[in-house]
Amino acid sequence: MRKIPDDVRVEPGWALARFGDGGWWPAAERGLESGEFADDVVEALADVVRAAGVDWVTAVPSVRLGGVLARLGDRVAHALSVPYVELVARADERPPQRDMANAAQQAANVRGAFRVLAAPPPGTGVLLDDRRISGWTLAMVGGQLRRAGAEAVVPLALATLQ
């Protein structure tokens, strides 16, 4: 994603697990299925980004999961002793990224699908999503947060394909 301008580029991101792998995937999958995540998953997510010097946490809203990610984001923020801030809303419903054939379609699918509700707090924020399929959702929503004034945005996903 080197073609993204510096002023809207997100920091290198993290994922707790890879789909289907051992380790954290079974616990992440149970949480995604039930809507409730074990305390050790919350602590592990916080540990992944703690070294980034995080100042706030927000989440990508999910049609499929409802408020699950906001609740998880709030718990991660609490574990980091920083605020959880509702900063992102869906502006338009779109098909899942996994249904897109290539990067151009994935980027176009995200463009205009989300909006930033308010100026982000000062400092570095974490943008939490459940799945990193293409990377475009985290990159483009993170870019919108940067454009709205975020100093830095660290993408964090429960699970990734890669």
Residue 153 lies in a domain: yes
Q: What is the pLDDT of residues 16-25, one digit of tens each?
A: 999 889 899 9
What pLDDT score does 121 carry?
97
The percent of the chain in helix, strand and coil, each rounded to the nearest 5, is: 40, 25, 40
Residue 1 lies in a domain: no
Residue 30 lies in a domain: yes
Q: How far apart are CA 17 and CA 5, in angstroms?
A: 28
What pLDDT score does 114 carry?
85
Tell me: pLDDT of 42 over 90: yes
| Average pLDDT value for residue range 131-145 | 86
Percent share of the chain, pLDDT over 70: 97
Q: Which range of residues forms the domain containing residue 21?
A: 6-160
Q: Does residue 16 come out as left (phi exceeding 0), alpha (psi in the -120 to 50 range) or beta?
A: alpha
Q: How far apart are CA 19 and CA 77, in angstroms?
A: 24
Indicate which CATH number applies to the domain containing 28: 3.40.50.2020
What pLDDT score does 2 carry?
55
Residue 124's nearest CA partner among 30, 55, 23 is 55
Q: How many distinct structural domains can be found in the chain?
A: 1
Q: What is the pLDDT of residues 61-118, one digit of tens each?
A: 986 777 889 999 999 999 999 999 999 988 878 777 777 777 777 777 677 778 999 9
Residue 95 lies in a domain: yes
Residue 85 lies in a domain: yes
What pLDDT score does 57 carry?
98
Contact 46, 72 (CB under 8 A): no
Residue 110's nearest CA partner among 86, 128, 94 is 94
